[in-house]
Structure 1
């Protein structure tokens, strides 16, 4: 069996790591000064009798939410808040539901740095562990990435409010959007950004064959699973993607007696087509494609499917008690005793626990906090006729977004203010390309979002901005900078002087 690097990479802090990190933070502050950032706050104050009024509320304090907040702040949009239900330091999936040892993204990706060198993961890592450790690293350890995001939030002084659970989002035409919370009353914001990750516009996709299984014997790969409880158990995993491999490997490493991967396809996907065309051109140019080309590209990608990273597959296959079953869809699954019985075309399997790495569905109607807007969100199924042979119900459910990630109305005029809510999460990919689906292009996505929000606020506030223009009377010239010429005009005027 082919060997792998240590499953949990570790690095030794340099003796002067704390001093070096402080020096990096000083360098970051200097770079911001050199760039004249953050820009001065410019959004006029809006009279509002309903308490605090935010210009932008960002729901979700993970990667996309933090990058969006930093970008808005650097561009002078300062009255904002990032709202996240998790405790500080546990936002996003990185140390909760993600189970890969390292990120799947190449370590060189600048991620949310917004073009600022000292804000990159590499700068943060080298300051504490050194250049040699960076050179020897294959991929970024997952938990260390979370540590970097915690640092990013701190050094950018981002206004994150933790422990805030959103229960309803209600657009109100030209009035601010009402954001009801579980324990913090109702907040109001002129714009709302949904930075809610891969499941924020729906949830885990549970195929009907598994719908009746209890949590005692079945969980989705995105659930928090007690891995230690799988020691000595017969575990099944549905799927062959990255999440399937991460969960299978985690179960094996926790001491599972066996792990059977039940894979519908006859063969493992081998090529990541989107990686082959990943570029700045893709990040910037995809938005300009005609809808038919966007659809064809993603439909082809779905047909090919994404392979799991090589290291993730090897992390599973190096265990002799891991079994890969291809062309093995599940036909039936039922609980039996303390476990379950799974029926496939190749026979019946008895398991103690089943993990569904079956992806996610775009279904805003299943999110209680989106109940007021879900019926009004225009989907691709409303705006695009699927060509014969390219039918895809999953893609058709994606929101058809405007150029600034804003929702559009299914029926014009039925939900005024819907376009003040921006979908800055994974389901934006069909409209905007793979800029909100991970680390590589999140800076480009955040800049696009920021420009759209800044433009819309400026246009909306044009009367106040014009009033400020008319009222501005700080003199550049005082009148003593020149002496009026009192002599004659003509060719001899200079001689006369």
Structure 2
């Protein structure tokens, strides 16, 4: 499927028409085939609820609708247009991913970023574009949601999920939340980078006043840092982007305190990205999957070149390697950081320490998160490959569903699908990163369809038996006897 060249520069109305034509040609969405269900109290039951209306939630919803699973809802805690990190805590100027990746297009050329961009700005502008500006990507996702009419309900936070037999009951809050709880058969946690955990907060900030530090995922008033001495812990992409924001808002100086001895230079996972890796990784033995992810974590992903140059062009930016933090304390209004190379004083501290995987940190799963099977429960690596962080990742199946640590103790966990960063060690980069997100959504929708059909097998059998619409009316033929065999002898 290719974009008609005449659509380049023709505007979004023309592209929208093309998208609707493509969908009509493929009969998307088809009629729902999932039997309707009501609870014992008469409340309607949804087939699937998706937590998160960012790129993962959107493409998951489109995949489900494309497969005829139509009784779905999507809840996002943010206002419309602010789903995901792009206009919240993401602070890079451009995306790292190449502009040519199909992303959440789900195999439709008319749904790619390129089609959307060319329709508005033309082919020359597309050719001139280097990396995708972050706000532009968010504008594209907003269009994707609108043109596909995806039912995102904003300002709705899922507070807790409670199992009720083979159903899940969702307690909701927020300005957009419905008055009553919601029942669903399947739940997809499309909750992004922090989807199975929380920001990683080192213990050394415990005694610091709350107004002296922030995590890179927090809302930060960078204007308040003008003229201030800022220290950034770490040198990953988010650390570098936050440092750049501080410098561009007039920070007096920014110092990176970096535990490792040198900057990582090579994005190892980018080097092996392929159709084979996307589809083959999940089928590898545990030992191979652990080995690959351990190597990726050990070598680390460097910050993008553009982001790093954005920082280093400031003369008051300083990179200190081999400078791990030993302790932190306040002296008057100064933060004093004792490092492996001596003391550093600053006015404000930014933690570029990323996110940790910890299902117990998710309030939605409170009360039973400790029953989720983790990698450390399933696989014991050799001593040279031990990694506590990897061991905390949930061990999910090909359907992205949580599994029980003790079989039979929490069977409802199989109805909660981890379509976020938490599935990375089990399934690879198909539940968050732009390159493999459509493939992941296809796996997810197919698995949920299979599970729903199997659970309703008796009802589908009844439909088979009861189906009585004839294709033939009986007047299409006339019966005739065999010819007389003896007469023909």
Q: TM-score range by the shorter chain?
A: over 0.9
Contact 2:62 2:148 in 1 (8 A): yes
Shift of 1:459: 0.4
Of stretches 220-229 and 482-491 in structure 1, the one that deviates more from structure 2 is 482-491
Contact 1:171 1:415 in 2 (8 A): no
Correspondence for 1:63 among 55, 78, 86: 55
Matched residue SS, 1:193? strand
Contact 1:17 1:129 in 2 (8 A): yes
Contact 2:8 2:118 in 1 (8 A): no
- Pair 1:378-2:373 in alignment: yes
Shift of 1:17: 9.5
Correspondence for 1:450 among 445, 464, 487: 445
Whole-angstrom distance in 1 between the partners of 2:90 and 2:284: 33
TM alignment of 1:223-234, pairs within 5 A = 223-234=218-229
Q: Deviations over 1:170-201 (max 9, x none)?
A: 22332x11111125331110000001111121
TM alignment of 1:345-424, pairs within 5 A = 345-424=340-419
Matched residue SS, 2:265? coil
TM alignment of 1:52-201, pairs within 5 A = 52-174=44-166, 176-182=167-173, 183-184=177-178, 185-201=180-196
Aligned to 1:6: none
Q: Deviations over 1:461-490 (max 9, x none)?
A: 111111111111111001111122246354
Contact 1:395 1:430 in 2 (8 A): yes
Matched residue SS, 1:302? helix
Going from structure 1 to structure 2, the CA distance change for 1:356 and 1:477 (only over 3 Å counts) comes to same
Whole-angstrom distance in 2 between the partners of 1:71 and 1:55: 14
Shift of 1:252: 0.7
TM alignment of 1:28-39, pairs within 5 A = 28-39=19-30
Shift of 1:145: 0.6
Shift of 1:492: 7.3
Whole-angstrom distance in 2 between the partners of 1:135 and 1:320: 33
Aligned to 1:11: none
Aligned to 1:245: 240
TM-score by length of 2: 0.95
Structure 1 outlier segments of 4+, above 3 Å: 16-19, 489-493
Shift of 1:19: 5.6
Contact 1:236 1:262 in 2 (8 A): yes
Pairs aligned (count)? 478
Contact 2:327 2:337 in 1 (8 A): yes
Of stretches 106-115 and 330-339 in structure 1, the one that deviates more from structure 2 is 330-339
Whole-angstrom distance in 2 between the partners of 1:98 and 1:433: 23
Aligned to 1:291: 286
Contact 1:242 1:309 in 2 (8 A): yes
Whole-angstrom distance in 2 between the partners of 1:120 and 1:76: 22
Shift of 1:337: 2.9
- Pair 1:334-2:329 in alignment: yes
Whole-angstrom distance in 2 between the partners of 1:17 and 1:442: 25
TM-score by length of 1: 0.93
Shift of 1:416: 2.4
- Pair 1:44-2:35 in alignment: yes
Aligned to 1:271: 266
Aligned to 1:235: 230
TM alignment of 1:433-472, pairs within 5 A = 433-472=428-467
Shift of 1:43: 0.6
Of stretches 478-487 and 467-476 in structure 1, the one that deviates more from structure 2 is 478-487
Whole-angstrom distance in 1 between the partners of 2:344 and 2:329: 11
Whole-angstrom distance in 1 between the partners of 2:153 and 2:339: 47
Matched residue SS, 1:315? helix
- Pair 1:209-2:188 in alignment: no
Q: Any unmatched runs of 5+ in structure 2?
A: 1-6
Whole-angstrom distance in 2 between the partners of 1:129 and 1:86: 29
Whole-angstrom distance in 2 between the partners of 1:421 and 1:152: 25
Contact 1:274 1:301 in 2 (8 A): yes
Whole-angstrom distance in 2 between the partners of 1:52 and 1:485: 55
Shift of 1:76: 0.3
Shift of 1:211: 2.7
Whole-angstrom distance in 1 between the partners of 2:324 and 2:484: 96
Whole-angstrom distance in 1 between the partners of 2:9 and 2:181: 41
Whole-angstrom distance in 2 between the partners of 1:151 and 1:259: 37
Q: What RMSD over aligned residues (CA atoms) do the two structures have, in Å?
A: 1.7
Matched residue SS, 1:292? helix
Whole-angstrom distance in 1 between the partners of 2:134 and 2:247: 19
Shift of 1:404: 0.3
Whole-angstrom distance in 2 between the partners of 1:30 and 1:146: 24
Whole-angstrom distance in 2 between the partners of 1:114 and 1:17: 21
Aligned to 1:13: none
